[in-house]
Amino acid sequence: MVKNNTGGNKAKGFARKNMVKRDVALRIAREEGEIYAQAVKIMGGRIASAIDVEGNPLRAHIRGKFSGRGKRDNFIGPGTWLLVGLHDWQTANIKSGGVKDCDILEVYNETDKERLKNSVTSVKWDKFIANEAKTLCVKNEDDILEFTDEVTQEYEELIASHATTNNAIITDNGEEIDVDDI
């Protein structure tokens, strides 16, 4: 019987050919029609909304290679860098101001992003890096939720009102102590 060296539930059930993670060569855009893109939103089904390096919108079709068992190492979410191949036969939709269609050819992980930045110097990666920062940051301070009870809220309001009026603390006896004198 096969020994379970990898651990986890049902780890022996996986095919052995898919368990080995190989360090493959970095795929770079070499042919005409291959461009770099960044996923903005997953639209549903097998379609993702993306932008190219210049900021033009794209409709990226997720191929069968990246779904099912291939989805494990090629997860596509907002901010994911992609290599896409444009549909050169589709011109009527583009002329009327529509969005270009493309197929996803490669999905880059975090280590591939660094290798890509260092090896491809002809492309300006500023927009992709800025979009990653936007997805990680909170867009509005009003979106932050704070869970407090009434007593804590009253206490914080009391401290804020005393801090803004003067530098004095009123004790339980009614005496006022000036913090500056201490």
d(CA 127, CA 135): 12
Amino acid identity of 31? Answer: E
Joined together, the tokens standing for residue 42 give: 């997953």
Single out the residue of 100, 105, 109 nearest to residue 77, CA to CA.
Answer: 109
Beta strands in the chain (DSSP E): 34-44, 47-52, 57-61, 81-86, 100-108, 168-170, 176-178
Give me the pLDDT at residue 13, please: 62
For 151-181, what is each residue's pLDDT tens digit? 888 888 888 776 555 566 666 676 777 666 6
Query: Which tens digit of pLDDT belongs to each residue from 22-49?
Result: 667 889 999 999 999 999 999 888 899 9
Q: What is the number of other CB atoms lying within 10 angstroms of the CB of residue 36?
A: 20
pLDDT digits (tens, 9 = 90+) for 114-159: 999 899 888 888 888 888 766 555 455 566 667 778 888 888 888 8
Task: Compute the distance between CA of residue 62 and CA of residue 67 in angstroms, rounded to an integer.
Answer: 8
Question: Is the pTM above the cut of 0.85?
Answer: no
Residue 35 phi, psi (nearest 5): -135, 165
Question: In the CATH scheme, what is the code of domain 26-139?
Answer: 2.40.50.140
Residue ranges per structural domain of the chain: 26-139, 146-181
pLDDT band per the 50, 70, 90 thresholds, residue 11: low
**Tens-digit pLDDT profile for residues 60-115:** 999 888 877 777 778 888 889 999 999 888 765 655 567 889 999 999 988 889 99
